[in-house]
Amino acid sequence: MLLDFNNLNINQLSPSSEFEMKIKNFIEEWFSDSETVKVQTSGSTGTPKIFDIEKKKMINSAVMTVDFLRLKQGDTALICLPIEYISGKMMVVRSIVKKLKLILTDSSLQPLKNIDHEIDFCAMTPLQVENSLDKLHLIKNLIIGGAAVSESLKNKIFNSKLNNQASNRIFETYGMSETLSHIGLKHIFPEVEDYFTIFENIDISKDERGCLTIFAPDLNVEVLQTNDLVEIKNKNQFRFLGRMDNVINSGGAKIFPEQLESLVKKEIPNEVVFLGIPDESLGQKLILIVEGEQSQDLINKILKIPFEKNFHKPKEIIFIEKIPRTPNGKINRIELTEIINNK
């Protein structure tokens, strides 16, 4: 289904799938008299919540993104994310605000499977990108969110059909439901950036723990205190280090699993997660979960990795068939911890 927001009649929409029906329902909610819409959080760091968001603030967020990407009226966009979450809703709102032509394709892991023409704008999760490498060259502006983009995926992107086409731009996003999708982007193709660049009229700082504090009055009247440990380069740029919730305390040493995961993913293609499990002597024992079949070759590669500290080396390597994820593709560390503890 194609929705042309330059000339749309909601009553003429004929959804042919549950996904299309949900999008139609959201569009009707958007054009209703209500000043808010309901949004569900992913639940990747706690219990999922449903809360109301002002439409005018969603419009502010949409304008930030379409202006940054220099999208224009009549450009094509592709929605392949669940409409229940802010990521999917904002794709529709951006299309409404900029009067884009929105292509609907089910929120599957292969969103470009039936696409054979160029698209100006799309948002995907890392898993969707992983399964779309052969067609990424069709997307002129791609933003990737929902989870961090691994080093191995970045390498696959550079080795895909994109080659070094300057006409294609790929960004990693930083944001959350409370910031109405992302507040900043960083290039990962054709150039690679270490720091996120935030949009205008957003102030960032750190609390005493070193976690990011966000004040974005156009998006949320409250000052948002995150649990994301960051390094701030200047008033417009920061680098994500890891989540405070995920910090592992092993023998008195604080370990940031996201940094170690990034290092391991440079050496092996599998998804990996570092966890801390209860240990009598260490408090928490550092273990590494690897998705896929057990392989001595993979183990040997991991053991050869030059970790900065000796205590960064996993005390145990566990292979698991499938690492649990939330519906929008984020690794569910809570569920994974439960699975490992119950083994």
Amino acid in the structure at residue 152: S
163 pLDDT above the threshold of 80? no
Amino acid in the structure at residue 102: L
The number of C-alpha atoms within 13 Å of 195 and in the hemisphere containing its C-beta is 12
Residue scoring higher pLDDT (325 or 291): 291
Average pLDDT over residues 101-105: 93
Which of the four pLDDT bands, split at 50, 70 and 90, describes residue 71?
A: very high
Q: Taking a C-beta distance cutoff of 8 angstroms, is the pair 118, 165 a contact? A: no
Model confidence, pTM:
0.80
Query: Closest Cα to residue 270, out of 193, 190, 331, 343?
Result: 331
At 168-186, the pLDDT tens digits run 999 999 998 888 889 999 9
| 163 Cα distance to chain centroid | 23
**Burial class (CB within 10 angstroms; exposed 0-12, middle 13-18, buried 19+) of 230:** buried
- Residues in contact with 9: Cβ distance below 8 Å, sequence separation at least 6, in sequence order: none
Phi, psi of 214 (to 5 degrees): -125, 130
Q: Taking a C-beta distance cutoff of 8 angstroms, is the pair 160, 136 a contact? A: yes
Domains of the chain (ranges plus CATH)?
Answer: 2-243 (3.40.50.12780), 247-341 (3.30.300.30)
Average pLDDT over residues 193-212: 94
pLDDT computed for residue 107 by the predictor: 66
Average pLDDT over residues 281-293: 93
CA distance 196 to 86: 20
At 144-158, the pLDDT tens digits run 998 888 887 888 898
Q: Taking a C-beta distance cutoff of 8 angstroms, is the pair 56, 34 a contact? A: no
pLDDT computed for residue 280 by the predictor: 87
